[in-house]
Amino acid sequence: MCIPSMNSNHLRLIDACYPPSAVLASAAGDHRPNAQELSRLTYYASNRPGKLTKLGVVLEKRVRADARKAATGHIKAKA
């Protein structure tokens, strides 16, 4: 499995759409994905079908990490 670099476009798009839980904890209660950024991510994925696997891997890693943090009582992850 290839480890994506921190400058990867798909990582930036995912981070813009789904900010880290630490940022969400300080947000004003609105925990939905940014609609404009979600649209950009969807456009990127639909025009680059070869990147779907990478997008899926990154999203799955984030979901597992966030779920693990929330299950262990991590305060910022409960957002």
Q: Which residue has the tokens 């950009």?
A: 40
Q: What is the pLDDT of residues 14-55, one digit of tens each?
A: 888 887 766 665 655 566 778 899 999 999 999 999 999 999
pLDDT at 74 over 90: no
In three-state form (DSSP H/G/I as H, E/B as E, the rest C), the secondary structure along the chain is: CCCCCCCCHHHHHHHHHCCCHHHHHCCCCCCCCCHHHHHHHHHHHHHCHHHHHHHHHHHHHHHHHHHHHHHCCCHHHHC
Q: Which residue has the higher pLDDT, 50 or 70?
A: 50
pTM: 0.68
pLDDT at 70: 79
pLDDT at 1: 44
Q: Helix crossing, 52-71 with 9-17: angle to 10°?
A: 40
